[in-house]
């Protein structure tokens, strides 16, 4: 299976100095550095290491940049990779056989936290991604010891720091030619894609043998350090994700959990984080496009055999 690695850098040459050689060391992979409007040495590093360079200028959102990179490249398998994620030797050798399994559209690797690609922590970053019955997306195993989650299994989806997809799956999930929702820009766009893939009958395999180290920017353990704008974006994107992907049957099962969480979220916004209140307005403004995308996804869903597990039990 031919493989393309899309390594996006956003003024992250200091990280690319380690993540690019690690990606290039994966046998048989074409590595494309997606230079998203960088003003640092990103382009120079790509040339020095002999990697293909896709220069985007002006800068796009994460989702728009990855959509352009997916459209401009080939490869039967596509690894969406962030510059702050460092692949271990044998990463693709462990992940690709799982991707070849029937109806497996993606592979979630084992991510361990690191400070900079050299100083690793004894803490799991993610063993896949989940959307729980409150419709809150999260990281499986985040903060557990690094040796936890050492058995292969199934995941809801792969975290966007390092997510291996079949190109066929990405094409199936694309709406109006776009794989990732550009209205979501960045946060939770990976969870949205994973949910959509499941609705369309694609599984995600968790493979701990595919190991990488990741500098986590946004997580339960780092949220307090994020800007109010980023927290608001994550807050509103949850509603866009639900509008597009949720099903009446799943909501009937989980409506009480969703309602309870909504009450807590509103109370938190009113009492402690008023900057989040604008997320409601933002979600309403973008709702018509989300509902149009929903109609497209649901029409495709009726034409396939769904997994029957849209959100975790």
Whole-number average pLDDT of the chain: 92
Its domain, for residue 268, covers: 225-302
Question: Final residue of a domain: which of 184, 214, 244?
Answer: 214
List 64's β-bridge partners, or say none.
none
Cα–Cα separations (whole angstroms), residue 296 to 8, 249, 301: 28, 18, 9
Instruction: Please write the tens of the pLDDT for every residue from 70-96.
Output: 999 999 999 999 999 999 999 999 999
Instruction: Please write the tens of the pLDDT for every residue from 38-54.
Output: 999 999 999 999 999 99
Inside any domain, residue 309: no
Question: Final residue of a domain: which of 214, 249, 281?
Answer: 214
Inside any domain, residue 24: yes
Question: Final residue of a domain: which of 166, 195, 214?
Answer: 214
Inside any domain, residue 173: yes
Inside any domain, residue 133: yes
Same structural domain for residues 194 and 120?
A: yes
| Residue 178 per-residue DSSP state | B
Q: Which pLDDT belongs to residue 185?
A: 85
Q: How many domains does the chain have?
A: 2
Inside any domain, residue 70: yes
Same structural domain for residues 193 and 234?
A: no
- Is the bond preceding residue 58 a cis peptide, omega within 30 degrees? yes
Same structural domain for residues 54 and 103?
A: yes
Q: Which pLDDT belongs to residue 16?
A: 96
Which tokens belong to 275? 């900057």
Q: Which pLDDT belongs to residue 118?
A: 86
List 9's β-bridge partners, or say none.
35
Inside any domain, residue 203: yes
Q: Which of the four pLDDT bands, split at 50, 70 and 90, describes residue 216?
A: confident
Q: Flag whether pLDDT at 148 surpasses 70.
A: yes
Same structural domain for residues 175 and 196?
A: yes
Same structural domain for residues 82 and 141?
A: yes
Same structural domain for residues 120 and 171?
A: yes
Q: Flag whether pLDDT at 310 surpasses 60.
A: no
Q: Beta strand 162-166 with 104-114: parallel, antiparallel or unpaired?
A: antiparallel
Place of tokens 């992250």: 12
Same structural domain for residues 71 and 36?
A: yes
Q: What percent of the chain has pLDDT over 70?
A: 95
d(CA 231, CA 268): 13
Query: CATH number of the domain that 87 lies in?
Result: 3.90.550.10
Cα torsion 70, 199, 303, 244: sign:
negative
The answer to whether 2 and 79 have CB atoms below 8 angstroms apart is no
């Amino acid at each position: 299976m031919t493989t393309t690695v899309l390594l996006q850098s956003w003024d992250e040459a200091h990280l690319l100095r380690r993540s690019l050689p690690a990606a290039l060391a994966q046998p048989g992979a074409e590595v494309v550095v997606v230079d998203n409007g960088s003003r640092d040495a990103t382009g120079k590093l790509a040339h020095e290491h002999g990697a293909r360079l896709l220069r985007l200028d002006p800068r796009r959102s994460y989702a728009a940049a990855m959509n352009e990179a997916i459209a401009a490249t080939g490869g039967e398998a596509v690894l969406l990779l962030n510059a702050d994620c460092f692949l271990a030797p044998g990463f693709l050798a462990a992940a690709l056989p799982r991707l070849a399994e029937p109806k497996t559209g993606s592979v979630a690797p084992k991510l361990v936290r690191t400070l900079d690609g050299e100083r690793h922590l004894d803490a799991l970053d993610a063993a896949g991604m989940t959307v729980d019955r409150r419709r809150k997306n999260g990281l499986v195993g985040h903060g557990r010891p690094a040796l936890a989650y050492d058995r292969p299994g199934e995941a809801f989806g792969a975290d966007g720091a390092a997510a291996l997809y079949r190109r066929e799956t990405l094409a199936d999930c694309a709406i109006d030619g776009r794989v990732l929702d550009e209205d979501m820009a960045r946060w939770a766009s990976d969870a949205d894609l994973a949910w959509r893939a499941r609705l369309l009958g694609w599984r995600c395999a968790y493979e701990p043998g595919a190991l990488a180290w990741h500098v986590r920017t946004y997580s339960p353990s780092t949220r307090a350090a994020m800007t109010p704008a980023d927290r608001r974006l994550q807050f509103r994107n949850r509603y866009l994700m639900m509008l597009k992907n949720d099903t009446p049957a799943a909501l009937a099962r989980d409506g009480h959990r969703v309602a309870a969480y909504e009450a807590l979220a509103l109370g938190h916004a009113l009492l402690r984080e008023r900057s989040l209140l604008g997320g409601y307005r933002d979600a309403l403004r973008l709702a018509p496009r989300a509902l149009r995308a929903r109609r497209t996804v649901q029409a495709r869903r009726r034409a396939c055999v769904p997994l029957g597990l849209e959100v975790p039990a």
